[in-house]
């Protein structure tokens, strides 16, 4: 749904230490994929721990519009009765993907090789984001798109009636583009091949294999080569969604910067294609213990214990960017309280997320009294140590959940409160964020 409602200002301020258990919701990336692959399967898929955030609920509604039965059985427990590969029906109305780039791009991929037309839209943030990156490869299958200038939404996509398989090298590191091509390849005959120069999150490959598709992954001189055999019969299954490492990053960061804090964050997905932030934090001096490492449903996970730590600025290796791409906003906030500069390079993709995240963090941190250097693909935050952030300002969240949560966390360790002009977008990925943080002892008012 489009989030055109009233802005919801929020404010956070320094208070006592954070203590207790932070049970964060299910992984957003895995949740979208579970609904979409469930809808493309034969029989029943049962999803446990689904993220019930706006982004994922929009994808669930979309899957209904394409003909699947999607039902909520209990908290986080959902059932999908799929239509099978090639079984999508033509939606009767516009598909509104709200704030979700992942939702719209994956769904466009999933329908691009079916003989039907769907019209996609989203909120003001999503309507500003580039769709050419998925429309271009989907055209190679034979799909046709008509959108606004620059391939922006609203956009009508007519799937290929006689799709051909495709070999495609992704021009930018993007799991959404890779996944859109693989999902389109499901209903094309023969082998669809995606080559990525840098490995992005691999939930789609893992889950496709789990549903019974044949997916081969090799490394060549060109990069990572993923080959999918088209027109499989996917079989419904049960999926346990790990807790989201990107959502966990917020309480983890808050505990690191609020003196005396000691929290536990159980069951966090630590797929190596997602866990870059945690390596970075440890290098900065964070006291994080990883206990009870295990694998569930093909995804590695662990329980985290996080304690207040004095952090030191570092240079984040640019090749790590892809495994922590969503975590730069919260890292930039933490970096403001570290000793010395934190240098973040190779982050051009942040310019086309829910907002321009380099600009949003730079302007917000400057308003909080922090010196910043920035360029097209880098951001340097000159940290002022544990008590060095002035705060006492209002920051614009720009319809971006992660910008809102990053500044609310920073406010917990700033000298004066930090106000965010609109915290409503937090519900897209982390409903219950404010309640969870308050239970830990944070002072956040909405
Ligand atoms: C996602 C991929 C990433 C990430 C997004 C979720 C996914 O986007 O930023 O939050 O689930 O595939 P890109 O593919 O644009 O890098």
Q: Same domain, yes or no, for 193 and 265?
A: no
The protein residue whose alpha carbon is closest to atom 11 in ligand 1 is: 29
- Flag whether pLDDT at 309 surpasses 60: yes
**Is 232 within a domain?**
no
Do strands 117-121 and 144-148 pair parallel, antiparallel, or not at all (unpaired)?
Answer: unpaired
Q: What is the pLDDT of residue 390?
A: 98
In the predicted structure, residue 150 carries a pLDDT above the cut 80: yes
User: Domain for residue 1, yes or no?
Assistant: no
- What confidence score (pLDDT) does residue 5 get? 78
Predicted local confidence at residue 297, as pLDDT: 72
For residue 238, the SS3 value is strand
Residues 295 and 175 in one domain: no
Looking at the fold, whether 114 and 213 belong to one and the same domain comes out as yes
Q: Using one digit for the tens of pLDDT, what is the confidence trace for 165-215? A: 999 999 999 999 999 999 999 999 999 999 999 999 999 999 999 999 999
Residues 44 and 175 in one domain: yes
Distance 104 CA to ligand 1 centre (A): 11
Q: Which of 173, 194, 227 is the last residue of a domain?
A: 227
User: Does 235 fall in a domain?
Assistant: no
> Which atom in ligand 1 lies closest to the alpha carbon of residue 29?
11
Residue 2: band (very low, low, confident or very high) from pLDDT cuts 50, 70, 90:
very low
Asked whether residue 310 is assigned to any structural domain, the reply reads: yes
Shared domain check, 251 and 138:
no
Structural domain span for residue 428: 10-26+242-445
Report CA-CA distances (Å) from 187 to 41, 42, 216, 293: 12, 14, 17, 37
CA of 133, closest atom in ligand 1: 15
Which helix (H) or strand (E) segment is 55 a member of? Answer: helix 54-65
Residue 198 CB–ligand 1 contact under 6 Å: no
Q: Do the beta carbons of residue 212 and residue 111 sit within 8 Å?
A: no
Considering only CA atoms, which residue is closest to atom 15 of ligand 1? 174
123's tokens: 């909120």
Ligand 1 geometric centre to CA of 417 (Å):
31
Rounded to whole angstroms, how far apart are CA atoms 150 and 129? 9
CATH code of residue 405: 3.65.10.10
Q: How far apart are CA 437 and CA 443, in angstroms?
A: 8
Domain co-membership, 180 together with 56:
yes
Pick from 309, 308, 354: nearest CA to 329: 354
Could you tell me the distance, in angstroms and rounded to a whole number, from the CA of residue 43 to the centre of ligand 1?
28
The answer, yes or no, to whether any atom of ligand 1 lies below 6 A from the CB of 102, is: yes
Q: Tell me: pLDDT of 1 over 60.
A: no
d(CA 390, CA 13) in angstroms, rounded, equals 11
Atom of ligand 1 nearest to the CA of 246: 10
Contacts (Cβ under 8 Å, ≥6 apart) of 74: none
Block residue for tokens 């999503």: 126
Nearest 5°: the CA angle 254, 256, 261 is 85
Q: Is the pLDDT of residue 69 over 90?
A: yes
Q: Whose Cα sits closest to atom 9 in ligand 1? A: 326
326 assigned to active site: yes
Residue 293 shares a structural domain with residue 375: yes
**Does residue 385 lie in a domain region?**
yes
Domain stop point among 227, 258, 275: 227
Distances in Å between the Cα of 45 and the Cα atoms of 31, 104, 271, 296 are 12, 21, 22, 17
26 C-alpha to center of ligand 1: Å? 16
Q: Which of 182, 196, 189 is nearest to 227 (CA)?
A: 182
- Would you give the distance in Å from CA 410 to the centre of its chain? 21
User: What is the position in ligand 1's atom list of the atom closest to the CA of 325?
Assistant: 9
Distance of CA 174 from the midpoint of ligand 1 (Å): 6
- 86: in domain: yes
**Residue at which a domain ends, from 195, 227, 259:** 227
Ligand 1 pocket, residue 176 CB under 6 Å: yes
Q: How far is CA 242 from the centre of its chain?
A: 13
Over the chain, what is the mean pLDDT?
97
* Atom 13 of ligand 1, residue of closest alpha carbon: 174
Is residue 333 in some structural domain? yes
For residue 175 and ligand 1, the question of a CB distance below 6 A is answered with yes
Model-level pTM?
0.97
Query: How do residues 207-247 score in pLDDT, each as one tens digit?
Result: 999 999 999 999 999 999 999 999 999 999 999 999 999 99
386: left (phi over 0), alpha (psi -120 to 50) or beta: alpha
Query: Which one from 96, 123, 202, 326 is the annotated catalytic residue?
Result: 326
Task: Based on the fold, state whether residues 52 and 186 are members of the same structural domain.
Answer: yes
Q: What pLDDT is recorded for position 4?
A: 60
Residue 244 near ligand 1, beta carbon < 6 Å: no
Q: Assess whether 267 and 159 both reside in one domain.
A: no
3 in a structural domain: no
Same domain, 190 and 256: no
| Total tally of structural domains belonging to the chain | 2
**What is the reported pLDDT for 3?**
53
Phi, psi of 127 (to 5 degrees): -70, -15
| Whether residue 250 is found in the same domain as residue 297 | yes
214 and 142 together in one domain: yes
């Amino acid at each position: 749904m489009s989030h055109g409602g009233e802005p919801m200002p929020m404010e956070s301020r320094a208070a006592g230490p954070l203590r207790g258990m932070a049970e964060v919701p299910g992984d957003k990336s895995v949740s979208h994929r579970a609904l979409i692959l469930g809808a493309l399967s034969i029989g029943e898929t049962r999803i446990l721990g689904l993220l019930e955030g706006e982004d994922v609920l929009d994808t669930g509604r979309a899957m209904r519009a394409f003909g699947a039965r999607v039902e909520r059985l209990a908290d986080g427990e959902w059932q999908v009765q799929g239509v099978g590969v090639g079984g999508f029906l033509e939606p009767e109305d516009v598909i509104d993907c709200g704030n979700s780039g992942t939702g719209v791009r994956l769904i466009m991929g999933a329908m691009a090789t079916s003989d039907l037309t769907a019209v996609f839209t989203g909120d003001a943030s999503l309507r500003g984001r580039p769709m050419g990156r998925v429309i271009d490869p989907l055209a190679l299958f034979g799909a046709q798109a008509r959108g606004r200038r620059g391939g922006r939404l609203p956009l009508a996509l007519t799937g290929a009636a006689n799709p051909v398989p495709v070999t495609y090298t992704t021009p930018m590191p993007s799991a959404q583009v890779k996944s859109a091509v693989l999902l389109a390849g499901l209903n094309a005959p023969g082998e669809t091949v995606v080559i990525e120069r840098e490995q992005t999150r691999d939930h789609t490959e893992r889950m496709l294999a789990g549903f019974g598709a044949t997916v081969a992954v090799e490394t060549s001189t060109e990069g990572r080569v993923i080959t999918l055999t088209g027109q499989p019969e996917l079989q419904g299954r049960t999926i346990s969604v790990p807790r989201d490492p990107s959502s966990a990053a917020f309480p983890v960061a808050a505990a690191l910067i609020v003196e005396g804090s000691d929290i536990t964050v159980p069951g966090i997905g630590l797929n190596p294609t997602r866990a870059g932030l945690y390596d970075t934090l440890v290098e900065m001096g964070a006291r994080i213990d990883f206990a009870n490492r295990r694998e569930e449903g093909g995804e590695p996970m662990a329980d985290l214990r996080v304690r207040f730590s004095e952090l030191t600025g570092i240079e984040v290796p640019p090749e790590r960017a892809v495994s922590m791409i969503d975590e730069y906003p919260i890292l930039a906030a933490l970096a403001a309280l570290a000793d010395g500069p934190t240098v973040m390079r190779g982050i051009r993709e942040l310019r086309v997320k829910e907002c321009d995240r380099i600009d949003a963090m730079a302007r917000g941190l400057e308003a909080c009294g922090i010196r910043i250097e920035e360029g097209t693909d880098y951001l340097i935050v000159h940290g002022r140590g544990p008590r060095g952030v002035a705060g006492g300002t209002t920051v614009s969240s720009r319809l971006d959940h992660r910008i809102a949560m990053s500044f609310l966390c920073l406010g917990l360790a700033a000298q004066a409160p930090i106000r965010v002009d609109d915290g409503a977008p937090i519900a897209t990925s982390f409903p219950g964020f404010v309640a969870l943080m308050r239970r830990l002892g944070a002072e956040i008012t909405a």
